[in-house]
A and B are shown apart, each in its own frame.
Chain A
Amino acid sequence: MPLYHNEDQAMLADTARGFIAEEGNIAKQLRHWRDRNCKDGFGHGLWKQMAEMGFTGMLVDESDGGLGMGHVEAGIVLEEIGRNLTPSPFLTSSVLAATALKHGTDDLKGRYLPGLIAGDSVFAVAIDETAKHRPSRITTRAEKSGNGFKLSGAKSFVIHGGSADMIVVAARTSGSDEDADGITLFAVPKDASGMSHDVVRLVDSSMATHTKFDAVELDGDAVIGEIDGGRAVLDAMLLAGRVGAAAEGVGVARGAMDMTVDYLKQRKQFGKLIGEFQALQHRASHLYSEVEIARAATIKAQQLLDGGSAHADLMASVAKAKVAKTARLAVQEGVQMHGGIGMTDEYDLGLYMKRDRALAEFLGDAYFHANRVAELSGY
Chain B
Amino acid sequence: MADLDTFRSETRSWLEANCPAEMREPVRDESDIYWGGRRATFKNDAQKAWLEACVAKGYTVPAWPKAYGGAGLSPAEAKVLREEMGRIGARPPLSSFGIWMLGPALLHFGTEGQKQRFLNEIARGEIRWCQGYSEPGSGSDLVSLQTFGEDKGDHWVVNGQKVWTSYADHADWIFCLVRTDKADKYQGITFMLFDMASEGVATKPILLISGNSPFCETFFDNVAVPKSYGDDCPAYVGQINRGWDVAKYLLGHEREMISGADGGDRTAGIGAAMKRHSAKLGDELDPVLRAELAMFDVDALAYTAMGEKFLDEIKVGKAHPAQPNMMKYAGTELNKRRHELMMAVGGSRSLEWDSEETEGGKPSRTWLRTKANSIEGGTSEVMLNVIAKRILDLPGA
Q: Which A residues form the contact surface with B (CB < 8 A)?
A: 2-4, 261, 264-265, 272-273, 275-276, 278, 281-282, 284-286, 288-290, 292-294, 296-297, 299-300, 314-315, 317-319, 321-322, 325, 366, 369-371, 373-374, 377-379
Contact = CB atoms under 8 A, between A and B. Distances in A.
B302 A272 contact: no
A294 B302 contact: yes
Contacts of B271: 373-374, 377, 379
Contact of A282 (B294, B326, B384): B384
A278 B140 CA distance: 16
A278 B385 contact: yes
A292 B297 contact: no
**Dominant secondary structure at the B interface:** helix
B294 A374 contact: yes
A374 B391 CA distance: 34
A2 B271 CA distance: 28
B202 interface: no
A297 B302 CA distance: 5
A293 B303 CA distance: 6
B299 A264 contact: no
B102 to A, nearest CB: 28
Interface in B296-317: 297-299, 301-303, 305-306, 308-310, 312-313, 315-316
A236 B214 CA distance: 51
A261 B294 contact: no
A325 B298 contact: yes
Given A281-B384, A286-B384, A289-B326, A296 B308 contact: yes
B396 A275 contact: yes
Interface stretch (B10-18, B53-61, B285-293): B285-293
B21 interface: no
Contact of B302 (A264, A319, A374): A319
A265 B395 CA distance: 7
Contact of A4 (B303, B309, B393): B309
Nearest to B269: A377
A261, A289, A300, A325 pick with most chain B CB within 10 angstroms: A289
B129 interface: no
Contacts of B385: 278, 281-282, 285
B394 A296 contact: no
Nearest to A260: B392
A357 to B, nearest CB: 19
A310 to B, nearest CB: 15
A272, A374, A378 pick with most chain B CB within 10 angstroms: A374
Nearest to B320: A292
Interface string B259-274: 0000000000101101
Contacts of A366: 295, 298
Contact of B290 (A265, A290, A293, A379): A379
11 contacts: A4-B313, A261-B392, A265-B394, A275-B397, A276-B394, A281-B388, A284-B392, A290-B330, A322-B299, A374-B297, A379-B272
B329 interface: yes
A161 B315 CA distance: 47
A315 B269 CA distance: 12
Nearest to A378: B272
A369 B294 CA distance: 9
Contacts of B393: 265
B298 A318 contact: yes
A366 B298 CA distance: 9
Interface residues of B, number: 44
Interface string B44-77: 0000000000000000000000000000000000
Given A322-B298, A378-B272, A272 B396 contact: yes
A293 B316 contact: no
Contacts of B397: 275-276, 278, 281
A4 B272 contact: no
Contacts of A369: 298
A379 B274 contact: yes
Contacts of B301: 297, 314-315, 318, 373
Interface string B326-345: 10011000000000000000
A370 to B, nearest CB: 4
A369 B212 CA distance: 40
Given A285-B384, A377-B269, A3 B309 contact: yes
B308 A373 contact: no
A207 B285 CA distance: 41
A315 B305 contact: yes
A300 B311 CA distance: 14
Contacts of A374: 271, 290, 293-294, 297
A292 B299 CA distance: 12
Contacts of B394: 261, 264-265, 275-276, 281, 284
Contacts of B302: 293-294, 296-297, 318-319, 322
B312 A285 contact: no
A276 B395 contact: yes
B4 to A, nearest CB: 12
Interface in B375-397: 381, 383-385, 387-388, 391-397
B318 interface: yes
A251 to B, nearest CB: 17
A2 B312 contact: yes
A366 B272 CA distance: 19
A276 B291 contact: no
B275 interface: yes
B308 A288 contact: no
Given A292-B326, A293-B303, A378 B275 contact: yes
Interface in B201-240: none
B49 to A, nearest CB: 35
A370 B306 contact: no
Contacts of B295: 321, 366, 370
A296 B304 CA distance: 9
A296 B388 contact: no
A288 B294 CA distance: 23
A300, A321, A377 pick with most chain B CB within 10 angstroms: A377
A275 B394 CA distance: 6
Contact of A377 (B297, B305, B313): B297
